Amino acid sequence: MTLGAVWCPTAASAEIARDIRGIKQRHGTAPSVEFKWVKASPSRLPLYLELIDYFFDQPNLHFRGMVISPKSRLMHSAFNQDHDTWYFKMYFQLLRVLIETSNSYRVFLDVKDTRSAHRVEKLREVLCNSVYDFQQICIPFIQTVQSHDVQQVQLADVLIGAIGYANRGLNTSEAKLRIVQQVRLRSGYSLTRTTPYAESKFNLFCWEPRDPSA
């Protein structure tokens, strides 16, 4: 399983969204068409490669990802949790290192289902508490969105997909392999190991479940 977040300054967000829509238009794709990892194909390879290059060339864009492996070792009952609770704990691990109390963050999550509103608000509370912001000022809101409405969420989906493909050792798509290769080339990382903690452009953390008996 992989999770990921793309982040950028609020002042640059609208420009970045326009740029990503422009990439689609240059390749004859309507701006309303989503970038999605599952849609990567030989005919769309130039489009996806330009998106990857845009991410690495745009100084205001950053990514943090998590590789969670293997899911088969998860023991939710030992930690008094269900899978959805664990899922949001992983979101906490993903986002916590990005939060600084000197900044303000608007967080947009790709919608998972229609029943997670209370967990989303709990995630905001726990993130704020973790940096002693008990007034919840540094994160004014966390909002679920549809990916087709937010270009940066689509970019995150492609980067997450490439990381997942690399870590599963898949090779069924030449186009996806080429995208993985480009992410490796531009990032300088294997995509299968944790990057240095201070890495801010393309940060990756490989998480393994804790043995409850340890």
Q: What is the DSSP letter of 55?
A: H
User: Does residue 214 sit within a domain?
Assistant: no
Q: What is the DSSP letter of 5?
A: E
Please state, in angstroms and rounded to a whole number, the distance separating the CA atoms of residues 191 and 154: 19
- What pLDDT, on the 0 to 100 scale, is given for residue 169? 95
All residues at 6 or more sequence positions from 169 whose CB lies less than 8 Å from its CB, including other chains: none
Averaged over successive runs of 10 residues, the pLDDT of the chain (214 residues) comes to 95 98 97 96 98 98 90 50 72 94 94 74 94 94 93 98 97 98 98 96 87 53
User: Does residue 19 sit within a domain?
Assistant: yes
Q: Based on the structure, what is the number of domains in the chain?
A: 1
Please state, in angstroms and rounded to a whole number, the distance separating the CA atoms of residues 132 and 213: 31
- Residue 164's domain comprises 2-207
- What pLDDT, on the 0 to 100 scale, is given for residue 70? 62
User: Does residue 82 sit within a domain?
Assistant: yes
Q: How far is CA 49 from CA 44, 87, 173, 201, 212, in A?
A: 9, 30, 15, 18, 42
- What pLDDT, on the 0 to 100 scale, is given for residue 82? 59
Phi-psi region of 91 (alpha: psi -120 to 50; beta: other; left: phi over 0): alpha
User: Does residue 213 sit within a domain?
Assistant: no
**DSSP string for 180-198:** HHHHHHHH-S-SSSPPPTT
Pairing state between β 62-68 and 202-207? parallel
Please state, in angstroms and rounded to a whole number, the distance separating the CA atoms of residues 16 and 112: 24
- What pLDDT, on the 0 to 100 scale, is given for residue 73? 53
User: Does residue 192 sit within a domain?
Assistant: yes
- What pLDDT, on the 0 to 100 scale, is given for residue 19? 98
Q: For the whole model, what pTM was predicted?
A: 0.90
User: Does residue 212 sit within a domain?
Assistant: no
Which among 191, 203, 199 is positioned nearest to 6, based on CA atoms? 203
CATH number where 60 lies = 3.30.420
